[in-house]
Amino acid sequence: MSELTQLPAWQKLWDHFADAKQLHMRELFESDPERAERYGLEVGGLFLDYSKNRITDETLQGLMQLAREAGLPERIKSMFKGEKINTTENRAVLHVALRNRTNSPIFVDGEDVMPKVNSVLERMGKFAHAVRSGEWLGYTNQPITDIVNIGIGGSDLGPLMVCSALRPFGHPRMNMHFVSNVDGAQLKETLKKVHSETTLFVVESKTFTTQETLTNALTARDWFLQRARDEKAVAKHFVAVSTNQKAVADFGIDPSNMFEFWDWVGGRYSLWSAIGLPIMLYLGEENFTELLNGAHIMDQHFRNAPFEQNMPVLLAMIGIWYINYFGGGSHVIAPYDQYLHRLPAFIQQLDMESNGKQTRTDGSPVNFETAPIIWGETGINGQHAFFQLLHQGTHISPIDLIASLESRGSLPGHHEILLANVFAQAEAFMRGKTAEEVREELAAQGMKGEALEALVPHKVFAGNRPTNTLLMSFLDPRNLGSLIAAYEHKIFVQGVIWGINSFDQWGVELGKQLAKTIHGELTGKLKSAEHDSSTRRLIQLYRQANKSK
Q: Strand, helix or coil at 140?
A: coil
Strand stretches in 152-281, DSSP E: 175-179, 199-204, 238-242, 258-260
Total residues at interface with ligand G6Q (CB under 6 A): 15
How do beta strands 107-108 and 111-112 pair? antiparallel
Give CA torsion, residues 450, 453, 455, 457, to 10 deg. Answer: -150
Region 375-414 residues binding ligand G6Q, contact defined as CB under 6 A: none
| Cα-Cα end-to-end distance for the chain | 57
357 binds ligand G6Q (CB under 6 A): no
Which of 10, 31, 21, 13 lies closest to 54, judged by CA?
A: 21
**Minimum distance, C-beta of residue 154 to ligand G6Q, in the bound complex (Å):** 3
Residue 127 host element (H or E) = helix 114-133
Q: What is the DSSP secondary structure assignment for residue 323, as one 8-state letter?
A: I
Q: Which residue is nearest to ligand G6Q (CB)?
A: 153
Q: Is 353 a catalytic residue?
A: yes
CB environment 378-411: b (16+ within 10 A), e (fewer): bbbebbeebbeebbeeeebbbbbbbbbeeeeeee
196 binds ligand G6Q (CB under 6 A): no
Which of 236, 249, 196 lies closest to 220, judged by CA?
A: 196
Q: What is the DSSP secondary structure assignment for residue 466, as one 8-state letter?
A: -
Looking at 204, 353, 377, 488, which residue is catalytic? Answer: 353
Give CA torsion, residues 143, 144, 145, 146, to 10 deg. Answer: 170
Q: Is 135 a catalytic residue?
A: no
317's CB contacts (< 8 A; 6+ apart) are 60, 63, 64, 66, 67, 307, 493, 497
**Minimum distance, C-beta of residue 371 to ligand G6Q, in the bound complex (Å):** 14
**Minimum distance, C-beta of residue 103 to ligand G6Q, in the bound complex (Å):** 26
Cβ of 110: how many Cβ atoms within 10 Å?
Answer: 5
330 binds ligand G6Q (CB under 6 A): no
Stretch of residues binding ligand G6Q (CB under 6 A), selected from 260-268, 284-292, 321-329, 437-445: 260-268
Q: Is 301 a catalytic residue?
A: no
508 binds ligand G6Q (CB under 6 A): yes
Stretch of residues binding ligand G6Q (CB under 6 A), selected from 10-18, 167-175, 203-211, 494-502: 203-211
54 binds ligand G6Q (CB under 6 A): no
Q: Candidates 59, 164, 196, 213: give the one binding ligand G6Q (CB under 6 A).
A: 213
Q: Strand, helix or coil at 368?
A: coil
Q: What is the DSSP secondary structure assignment for residue 461, as one 8-state letter?
A: B
Looking at 12, 84, 512, 531, which residue is catalytic? Answer: 512
289 binds ligand G6Q (CB under 6 A): no
Region 33-52 residues binding ligand G6Q, contact defined as CB under 6 A: none
155 binds ligand G6Q (CB under 6 A): yes
Looking at 384, 458, 525, 547, which residue is catalytic? Answer: 384
355 binds ligand G6Q (CB under 6 A): no
149 binds ligand G6Q (CB under 6 A): no
**Minimum distance, C-beta of residue 228 to ligand G6Q, in the bound complex (Å):** 25
Side chain identity at residue 103, one-letter code: N
Stretch of residues binding ligand G6Q (CB under 6 A), selected from 188-196, 262-270, 376-384, 395-403: 262-270
Q: Candidates 154, 344, 382, 481: give the one binding ligand G6Q (CB under 6 A).
A: 154
**Minimum distance, C-beta of residue 280 to ligand G6Q, in the bound complex (Å):** 18
Spacing of C-alpha 121 from chain mean position: 22
Stretch of residues binding ligand G6Q (CB under 6 A), selected from 103-111, 146-154, 281-289, 364-372: 146-154
389's CB contacts (< 8 A; 6+ apart) are 395
Q: Candidates 44, 82, 138, 153: give the one binding ligand G6Q (CB under 6 A).
A: 153
Which parts of this chain interact with ligand G6Q (CB under 6 A)?
152-155, 205-207, 210, 213, 266-268, 353, 505, 508
User: Catalytic amino acids?
Assistant: 353, 384, 512
